[in-house]
Amino acid sequence: MDDRKATLRILCGHPVMDRDHQEIVRLLGRALQGLTRGLRREGVHLLIADLVSYLVDHFDREEGLMERSGYPEIEAHRAAHRGFLERVRGLQRQAADAEYPALSTQFYLMRDWLEEHVLGTDKATAAYLNAVA
């Protein structure tokens, strides 16, 4: 998939959230590229660690926006973030032994999750944030 197209497709309509999402897509693409170019395990590990740390920051930022605006669906949204982080951390642990095809499949699944989350849950949240701003 073309990264530029993927980036353009996953806009939710809130400038702070959209900027973060584009960075997540970039980090995912970078990790995937590292895998396809046969980067050594330590290198892939570092790329996944960067992704996890950015995801933690992004989810905190997004949840902060929801808290400050009194968003009523915050708990469900927070639970979705937590579930995804657990999955990505699981992948981080597996990265030490998994082979390239299994890992790259996980990355594509993460990208699918992200797209679905941004276009569904995040978009609904962004509409609320924009309405109360």
Helices (H) and strands (E) in the chain, counts: 6, 0
The torsion region of residue 96 among left (phi > 0), alpha (psi -120 to 50) and beta comes to alpha
Smallest distance from the beta carbon of 2 to Fe ion, in angstroms? 21
From residue 43 to residue 62, the character string flagging contacts with Fe ion as x (rule: CB under 5 A) and all else as - is -------------------x
Nearer to Fe ion, 18 or 45 (CB): 18
| Residue of closest CB approach to Fe ion | 122
Tokens encoding 109:
């699944």
The token duo for 46 is 């570092």
Q: How far is the CB of 37 from Fe ion (least distance, A)?
A: 28
If the CB atoms of residues 90 and 116 are measured against Fe ion, the closer one turns out to be 116
